[in-house]
Amino acid sequence: MARKLGFYSVLLFIVYGLFFYWYLFYFADSKLPFEFQGTAADPATFLNTRELALSDEYSKLKNFMFFISTPLEWLIYLFILLFGFSKAFRKWGEDSGKYKIIQKAIYLFWLNLMAYIATFPLSYIGHKVSTDYHISTQSFPSWMKDELIDFWVNYVIMFVIFIVLYWLMNKSKKRWWLYAWLLSVPFTLFLTFIQPVIIDPLYNNFTALSDKQLEEKILALAKESNIPAEHVFEVNMSDKTNALNAYVTGIGSNSRIVLWDTTTKELKDNEILFVMAHEMAHYVEKHIYYGIALSLVLSFFGLYFIYKLMNVLVSKWGDALKISRVEDYQSFPLILLLISMLLFAVNPLTNIVSRYEEKRADNYAVQLTSDPEAGITTFQKLAKTGLSEVNPPFLVKVFRYSHPTMLERISVLEEKSILQKNSEN
């Protein structure tokens, strides 16, 4: 049974990969609709011939890696179960540690390490592609440093979840999923609260914005939006990327307005103000809280689904998966596999919600700055520096795009700009 499961899983993965290779490289058509040709949204108006070709190549490669990376993760967790690695990791933990918490820590370390090693080649290829296309400027040692930070941050967070989850499973076999969800509420809020001041600084250096005149303009916008901000933070990203970005992060007193230094170097002041007005909209309209609420709703149903499915899978294929009981922490790779599958499945839904919020943020930025032209040039520069697809294929948009496409954003702003000019005349 284990061999059969493994064989058909690999076969399915190969068929899936071939489908997306065919879809992205041969079938999908990203050509601009006729009615948008020659408009501000037409990439031919702000990208040269070489940049257009590079954008097409880079987008196809990154999209393909996205679509195969998550199913590859499922395959890895499945093979960890089928080949008895999870059982072996547990034995290593029991042989190496006297206390149960130490045993579980060792088990989880080996599990995470194997998953990391198995996915490392694809991660490195992604880094190499970004470097080759001059999106990333990060050296390999710097990239590896971030990878190791990722590994340990994820390990610590996962260890807390792992310990609590299996403690609940052993305490209540029927309601552990509900208790786990209830505990996830304060845990999610806690992580969101500490991220700007504890987690983010592990990766980058945050300082006060050096351009004080620009900071005054941004804070004036914040005041107009009733955002209690006293500082704007600048993060040194030019050592890692040529891409542009800005964001508002955190909740409560730990909220931060952040600009990448690449953004301050590449964009004019009016363009930066448009970007910041867009980001402020997320704060004003409480999109962060809505995002947390949506994730908690989805996790409620997700945990219940995992609870039901775990019992079915263990009763039917427990021998092949080397799992005797659901509450045995040897089953953790199966939980990770199911969580990953559910997250992938709900991507289209969460992206729809996110695109709606981003559209509202664009509208808010126009209202606050009265400068849709700044938005147009900003998005053109974002597309240029990131080699972004202006009009991505349907499945790419559905599964990858948390923002409206550049075609949609620029064309809407162009309409607003024309209306504004007509009203002025």
In this predicted model, what pLDDT tens digit does every residue of 373-411 receive, in sequence order? 999 999 999 999 999 999 999 999 999 999 999 999 999
Query: Phi and psi (nearest 5°) for 249?
Result: -130, 165
Asked if residue 232 lies in contact with residue 255, where contact means CB atoms within 8 angstroms, the answer is: no
Hey, what are 163's tokens?
């310990």
Residue 22 carries which side chain, given as an amino acid letter?
W
Q: Does the CA dihedral 205-209-210-211 come out positive or negative?
A: positive
The reply to whether 358 sits in an annotated binding site is yes
Q: 188 near 295, Cβ under 8 Å?
A: yes
pLDDT band at 364 (very low <50, low <70, confident <90, very high): very high
- Provide the annotated active-site residues: 279, 362
The one-letter amino acid at 357: E
Find tokens 């808010």 and name the residue. Answer: 364
Q: What is the pLDDT of residue 3?
A: 80
DSSP string, 281-314: HHHHTTHHHHHHHHHHHHHHHHHHHHHHHHHHHH
Q: What is the pLDDT of residue 194?
A: 82
Number of H helices, E strands in the chain: 14, 4
Taking 90 as the threshold, does the pLDDT of residue 12 lie above it?
Answer: yes
278 is in an annotated binding site: yes
Instruction: For residue 144, give every residue at least 6 positions away whose Cβ sits within 8 Å of its Cβ, in sequence order, or none.
Output: none
pLDDT digits (tens, 9 = 90+) for 86-126: 999 999 998 887 888 999 999 999 999 999 999 999 999 99
Question: Which DSSP letter does residue 238 get?
Answer: T
What mean pLDDT do residues 128-151 have? Answer: 93
Q: Mean pLDDT across the stretch 213-239?
A: 85
Give percent above pLDDT 70 in the chain. 98
* pLDDT value for 425: 65
Question: Please, which residues have CB within 8 angstroms of residue 159's CB and are 6 or more apart in sequence?
Answer: 104, 105, 108
SS3 for 118-166 is HHHHHHHHHHHHHHHCCCECCCHHHHHHHHHHHHHHHHHHHHHHHHHHH
Instruction: Give the chain's mean pLDDT.
Output: 91
Give Cα separations from 222 to 192, 240, 284 (angstroms). 21, 28, 10
